[in-house]
Structure 1
Amino acid sequence: MENETPYYEDKSKVYDIIKYPDRISGRCDDCGEAKFSSRIEDRKLVRKCKKCGLQKSI
């Protein structure tokens, strides 16, 4: 299945949560961590995983 395990090739890129939804709600898709830091960028809330650095706009 295509969307079962999303592959994030560039962790410096901000992924859209609508196109790449969380596999487990509130957890990082890459490492499974639940701790995030947040910031506002271009009028969108961006969360960044504190363990691996994966970023998603929510």
Structure 2
Amino acid sequence: MIARVYRSSVFALYQLTIAVGILVMPLALAAQRTAGRAPPIHRIVERLESAYEGAKP
């Protein structure tokens, strides 16, 4: 039961992070053009993806 709740929570966070990444993309592109660096959203997505994959039964 707890594993199911954990897996669902990680999946929801993973999906939320992808949505935030899509919404922040214009700001990331502007930061890339002006400062030469983009926010490291891909690291968060990769970590949550690996956590979700590890939570599968």
Kindly indicate whether structure 1 or structure 2 has the higher relative contact order, using CA contacts under 8 Å at least 6 residues apart. Answer: 2
- Does TM-score exceed 0.5, indicating one fold? no
Please give the TM-score of this superposition, normalised by the length of structure 1: 0.21
The structure with more strand, counted as a fraction of residues: 1
Please give the TM-score of this superposition, normalised by the length of structure 2: 0.21
